[in-house]
Amino acid sequence: MPGASGVNVESSCEALCRTLVSQNGLQRETADISQSVLYTSLMGLLLVTDDEKEQLTLGSGRVGLRNIGNTCFLNAIVQCLSHTRGLRDYCLLKSYRHEKFSKEEAKLMEAFSQVLLGFWDVNEGDTVVNPRQFYNIFREAVPYFSGYSQQDAQEFLRFLLDKLHTEINRRPYVRRTGKDPEQKYTRFRISEEAAAMWKKHLERDDSRIVDLFSGQLRSSLHCSVCSHYSNTFDVFCDLSLPIPKKSFSGEVMLRDCLDLFSQEEKLDKENSPMCERCNRRTECTKRLSIQRFPQVIVIHLNRFTTSRWSISKSTVYVSFPLTNLDLGPYGPVDCGPVLYDLYAICNHAGTVNMGHYTACCLDENGWCYYNDSSVTPVSENQLQTNQAYVLFYQRSNSTATIRK
Ligand SMILES: [Zn+2]
């Protein structure tokens, strides 16, 4: 990032931070505002808007990817990520080079950015990009993917984001000591406890990937013996949702999957964690909710179920909104509407063993269907099929989101 504009962004961010802090009475304990979570998040946003957008002259992005042997899972996911603006612009401008957090070369990031450059080059010399170099570097980093068999797109996405994050982590040299000792935050309110956990996370893991994709899940436990409530908070980069069997109306909506995901679940003694008050395992109920909403929410419709002997695939049609998906009801109490718009879909057609991945992505001129090397425009009413597997939503009302 060029010196002058960097300073501007930082000072405007700091000023905005201070205003928000004084208005909301947050952060009493930190004098150094640049260390706060609020500051980091705002910087993430400001860097995208101020620094990156204006410097780019882009082509259409409507370029396919060669299938180099069962690589449709990779092609579909890379297209979805290529349409994730905050990530695309960061890659095209090679912003990670200027950030220089780690001394090690960001090999995978370089190769990934090279693929995106092929897509978005304004001269559009290529009609197809070959992902071989990127894939080779990825497989070196993640040997799990070294076979030639079909791989799961969702798994690939998780591994890819994780590896990219590691390379561009802004805290590369903070020692990881495994799991933290259990901390007791009982004197805090839930939101303060959650904020403390999030801050702890950012102290070790903080990158553009985190700015965009990371959120926080809350799991609340209620002991049925002593009625004690407790919460645990986990960072997530995607929501993996169960698909209900057909409902009475015959149609399953994304909302039904979310309801099932966040529905109270009874845990018997064997499967429940220790109750802090009873000091033993007891029957309890567990509920999941979203404590902190990410900029981009990746929703995985979990179509594959592994039983003892086999994997089966659900082909239930799940309808999902293209705009204004409201996740507010799955967030903290009284958080109001939290709206998201769809911009990419990764589809899976076929069976467990014989399947094919494709993608539908939105750009400034509409939706396109990406099937390996072929790219064709597609209309909105063709987007919803029973093949939808991973949905990418971008937050649309993110400016009004600083909660106490
Ligand atoms: Zn108890």
**How far separated are the first and last CA of the chain, in Å rounded?**
32
Q: Which residues are catalytic?
A: 72, 356
Q: Per the structure block, which two tokens stand in for 3?
A: 């010196």
Q: Per the structure block, which two tokens stand in for 262?
A: 């966040």
Ligand 1: centre distance to CA 229 (Å)? 8
Residue 173 and residue 231 share a domain: yes
Among 108, 171, 150, 192, smallest CA distance to 349 is for: 150
Ligand 1: centre distance to CA 223 (Å)? 5
User: 13, 35, 55: which is the final residue of a domain?
Assistant: 55
Other C-beta atoms closer than 10 Å to the C-beta of 168 total: 24
| Long-range interactions of 84-89: CB distance < 8 A, separation 24+ | 84/212, 84/296, 84/343, 84/344, 84/392, 84/394, 85/48, 85/394, 86/48, 86/208, 86/211, 86/212, 86/295, 86/296, 87/208, 87/209, 87/212, 88/116, 88/120, 89/48, 89/52, 89/53, 89/56
Report how far residue 315's alpha carbon sits from residue 386's, in angstroms, rounded to the nearest whole number: 6
Ligand 1: centre distance to CA 231 (Å)? 13
Residue 271 per-residue DSSP state:
G
Residue 47 and residue 73 share a domain: no
Task: Say if CB 74 and CB 154 are below 8 A apart.
Answer: no
pLDDT at site 353: 81
Residue 349 and residue 253 share a domain: yes
Report how far residue 200's alpha carbon sits from residue 313's, in angstroms, rounded to the nearest whole number: 38
Q: Which residue has the tokens 């700015």?
A: 211
304-361 pLDDT, tens per residue?
988 888 888 988 999 999 999 999 999 998 889 999 999 999 999 998 888 999 999 9
167-205 pLDDT, tens per residue?
999 988 766 665 555 555 455 688 888 999 999 999 999
Residue 141 and residue 17 share a domain: no
Q: Ramachandran region of residue 109, left (φ > 0), alpha (ψ -120 to 50) or beta? A: alpha
* Amino acid residing at 218: R
Among 128, 110, 125, smallest CA distance to 164 is for: 110
pLDDT at site 43: 56
Q: Per the structure block, which two tokens stand in for 23?
A: 């208005």
Residue 90 and residue 44 share a domain: no
For the chain, how many structural domains are there in total?
Answer: 2
Q: Crossing angle, helix 153-168 and helix 107-120, to 10 degrees?
A: 110
Task: Say if CB 372 and CB 127 are below 8 A apart.
Answer: no
Residue 78 and residue 26 share a domain: no
Residue 339 and residue 299 share a domain: yes
pLDDT tens string for the chain (404 positions)? 333 333 445 555 556 555 555 554 444 444 455 545 555 555 555 555 555 556 788 899 999 999 998 899 999 999 999 999 999 999 999 998 887 677 788 999 999 999 999 999 888 666 899 999 999 999 999 888 877 666 899 999 999 999 999 999 998 876 666 555 555 545 568 888 899 999 999 999 999 999 999 999 999 999 999 999 999 999 999 999 999 987 666 789 999 999 999 999 999 988 888 898 999 999 999 999 999 999 999 999 999 988 888 888 988 999 999 999 999 999 998 889 999 999 999 999 998 888 999 999 999 999 999 999 999 999 999 999 999 999 999 999 754 444 43
Ligand 1: centre distance to CA 280 (Å)? 8
Residue 266 and residue 125 share a domain: yes
Residue 102 and residue 30 share a domain: no
Residue 242 and residue 203 share a domain: yes
User: 55, 73, 92: which is the final residue of a domain?
Assistant: 55
Residue 390 and residue 308 share a domain: yes
Give the dihedral of Cα atoms 225, 269, 231, 395; nearest 10 deg. -130
CB neighbour class for 280 (10 Å; exposed up to 12, middle 13-18, buried from 19): exposed
User: 55, 79, 94: which is the final residue of a domain?
Assistant: 55
pLDDT at site 173: 76
CATH value at residue 80: 3.90.70.10
- Contact residues for 27 (Cβ-Cβ < 8 A; gap 6+): 21, 33, 36, 38
Residue 98 and residue 46 share a domain: no
Domain range enclosing 226 = 56-400
Ligand 1: centre distance to CA 366 (Å)? 54
pLDDT at site 263: 95
Report how far residue 91's alpha carbon sits from residue 85's, in angstroms, rounded to the nearest whole number: 10
